[in-house]
C-alpha cells in the first residue's frame, strides 16, 4: 500500500494471527493445543521478521538507541547534540542498548526489529482480551490496530512505542487484578521512558492508590540512585536542558509532532515544518494557553467532582485514560507514533457495555476519531500537498480530541447515574 512503509504487510501478520486464534479459540480445548498455536506463531514471525529486517530503515534506532549504547560507555559528551536530535531519553536508559551497540549495526538493528515485531502478537491478543471485547467488537479493535498508521510509523522508525503500548496493557491488567505494586513499577518504568506518560502516573497519587504510587516511586528512586552513581551530574543536567527545557515555550512545527503545540505552530507558521524548537510568533502563546486551559479543565473538573467517589476499578481506569489522552495531546512534543497508545482507551471503551454510550452521534464521533488516529503518516502528507491545508497534517491530533471528548462524556454519564442512584437509595431509606 503506497501510504504505508515497506513493513506494513509484515506487521499486519501478527494481528491476523491473533485474530485467527479468537476465530478458532473454541477448538483449542486442551492446553497443549494453545501452546502449539502460539509457539507455531512465534516461529512463523521469527522467519518473516528476519526476512523483513533485510530492508532496514530504523532511523530512531540508528540515530538514537544504537548511538546511545555506543556513546554512553566512552564518549558521554557526545550522547546529546545541541538540539537533542537523535537520542532523547535520560542518560541511564542508554545502558540498556550497550549489548546491541557492541554488535554490527545491521545485525543489531535486525535483532532490535525482531524484538519489537514479536511484541505485536501479544499486543494484538491482549488488546482484545484485556478489554473484554466480544463478537464484532473484537474485529473492530483488531482491524484498527492492523491498519494503524502510528504502529506502522513506530516500526518503520525503529522506535519502541509499540513495546511501550504492550507494557501499558500489562500494567492496566495488573491493576485490574489487584497487583497494584507491579502496575506501579511498570507505570514508573514507561513514564521515565516516554515523558508524556509521567502525568498519567501522577493520577494514581491524586486518587490515593498508594500501592501503585509506591511501585512508581520505587522505580523512580532506583533510577535516581543509579543515575547519581553511574552518570555524571553534568550529563543529567545536559539532558534536562537540551531535551526538556529547550522545548518549553518553543514549539516544534514538524508534521509528525501531533501535540497541541505542533498543531498550533503549523497554523501560525505556515510552511515551517522544522524539527528545531522555534520562537513563537505573535498570537501563538495566547492561543496555546487558551487551548491548554480548555484541554486541562475537564481533567481538573473530573478529579474534583470524583474526589469523594468510591469508584470501581473500571472507572479509575477510565479516569486514567482521560488523563493519558490529555497528556499526549498537551505534551510539548507528541510524535505521531504516540497516538497508537490511544487505541487502548478506545478498545476498553468499545469492550465495556457499562461504559459505552449507545448514541448514534457518539458512535459517529468515535469511528471518525479512530479513523483519524489510525491514518498513515504519508496519507496525511499527501492530503496536505493536494490541498495546502495544514490542518490535514494534524488529523491524528483531531482524532485524539474526538476520543478525549467521548471519554469525558462517558465519565459525565456515569457520574450522573451514580448520583441519581445515591439519591434514590437515600429517598428509600
Residue tagged 535516581 (cell numbers): 224
Which residue bears the cell 503506497? 2
- Whether 3 maps to a domain, the answer reads no
**This prediction's pTM:** 0.94
Domain assignment of residue 202, given as a range: 8-416
Q: Are 150 and 339 in contact (CB under 8 A)?
A: yes
The answer to whether residue 2 sits within a structural domain is no
Q: Is residue 367 part of a domain?
A: yes
Residue 400 falls inside a structural domain:
yes
Cα–Cα distance for residue pair 157/151, rounded to 1 Å? 10
- pLDDT score of 1: 66
- What's the number of domains the chain is made of? 1
Which residues, given as ranges, of the chain have pLDDT below 70? 1, 310, 420-429
What's the confidence (pLDDT) of residue 233? 85
Question: Quick check: is 1 in a domain?
Answer: no
Cell 540515530 found at: 63
- In this prediction, residue 367 carries a pLDDT of 95
User: In this structure, is residue 421 part of a structural domain?
Assistant: no
pLDDT at site 421: 65
246-252 long-range Cβ contacts below 8 angstroms, 24+ apart = 246/83, 246/84, 246/277, 247/277, 247/332, 247/333, 248/332, 249/280, 249/285, 250/277, 250/278, 250/279, 250/280, 251/277, 251/278, 251/280, 251/284, 251/288, 251/332, 252/276, 252/277, 252/278, 252/332, 252/333
Summarised one tens digit per residue, pLDDT across range 277-324 is 888 888 899 999 999 999 999 999 999 888 777 677 888 999 999 999
pLDDT one-digit tens code per residue, 133-170: 998 999 999 999 999 999 999 999 999 999 999 999 99
Q: Does any domain span residue 426?
A: no
Amino acid at each position: 500500500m503506497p501510504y504505508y512503509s515497506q513493513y506494513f504487510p509484515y506487521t499486519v501478520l501478527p494481528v491476523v494471527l491473533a485474530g485467527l486464534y479468537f476465530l478458532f479459540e473454541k477448538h483449542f480445548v486442551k492446553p497443549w493445543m494453545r501452546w502449539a498455536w502460539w509457539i507455531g506463531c512465534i516461529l512463523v514471525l521469527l522467519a518473516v521478521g528476519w526476512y523483513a529486517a533485510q530492508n532496514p530503515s530504523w532511523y530512531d534506532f540508528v540515530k538514537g538507541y544504537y548511538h546511545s549504547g555506543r556513546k554512553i560507555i566512552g564518549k558521554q559528551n557526545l550522547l546529546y547534540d545541541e538540539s537533542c536530535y537523535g537520542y532523547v531519553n535520560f542518560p541511564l536508559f542508554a545502558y540498556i542498548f550497550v549489548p546491541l551497540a557492541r554488535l554490527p549495526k545491521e545485525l543489531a538493528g535486525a535483532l532490535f526489529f525482531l524484538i519489537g515485531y514479536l511484541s505485536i502478537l501479544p499486543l494484538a491478543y491482549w488488546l482484545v482480551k484485556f478489554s473484554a471485547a466480544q463478537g464484532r467488537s473484537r474485529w473492530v479493535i483488531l482491524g484498527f490496530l492492523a491498519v494503524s498508521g502510528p504502529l506502522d510509523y513506530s516500526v518503520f522508525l525503529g522506535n519502541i512505542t509499540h513495546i511501550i503500548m504492550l507494557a501499558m496493557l500489562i500494567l492496566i491488567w495488573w491493576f485490574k487484578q489487584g497487583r497494584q505494586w507491579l502496575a506501579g513499577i511498570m507505570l514508573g518504568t514507561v513514564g521515565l521512558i516516554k515523558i508524556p506518560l509521567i502525568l498519567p502516573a501522577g493520577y494514581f497519587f491524586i486518587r490515593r492508590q498508594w500501592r501503585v504510587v509506591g511501585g512508581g516511586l520505587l522505580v523512580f528512586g532506583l533510577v535516581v540512585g543509579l543515575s547519581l552513581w553511574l552518570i555524571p551530574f553534568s550529563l543529567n543536567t545536559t539532558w534536562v536542558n537540551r531535551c526538556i527545557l529547550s522545548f518549553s515555550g518553543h514549539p516544534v512545527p514538524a508534521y509528525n509532532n501531533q501535540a497541541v503545540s505542533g498543531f498550533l505552530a503549523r497554523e501560525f507558521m505556515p510552511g515551517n515544518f522544522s524539527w528545531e524548537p522555534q520562537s513563537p510568533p505573535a498570537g501563538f502563546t495566547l492561543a496555546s494557553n487558551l487551548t491548554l486551559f480548555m484541554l486541562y479543565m475537564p481533567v481538573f473538573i473530573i478529579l474534583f467532582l470524583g474526589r469523594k467517589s468510591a469508584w470501581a476499578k473500571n472507572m479509575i481506569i477510565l479516569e486514567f485514560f482521560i488523563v493519558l489522552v490529555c497528556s499526549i495531546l498537551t505534551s510539548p512534543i507528541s510524535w505521531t507514533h504516540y497516538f497508537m497508545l490511544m487505541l487502548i482507551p478506545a478498545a476498553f471503551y468499545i469492550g465495556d457495555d457499562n461504559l459505552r454510550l449507545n448514541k448514534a452521534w457518539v458512535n459517529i464521533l468515535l469511528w471518525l476519531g479512530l479513523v483519524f488516529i489510525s491514518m498513515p503518516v504519508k496519507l496525511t502528507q499527501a492530503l496536505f500537498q493536494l490541498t495546502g491545508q495544514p490542518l490535514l497534517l494534524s488529523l491524528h491530533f483531531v482524532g485524539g480530541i474526538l476520543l478525549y471528548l467521548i471519554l469525558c462524556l462517558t465519565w459525565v454519564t456515569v457520574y450522573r447515574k451514580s448520583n441519581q442512584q445515591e439519591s434514590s437509595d437515600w429517598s428509600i431509606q
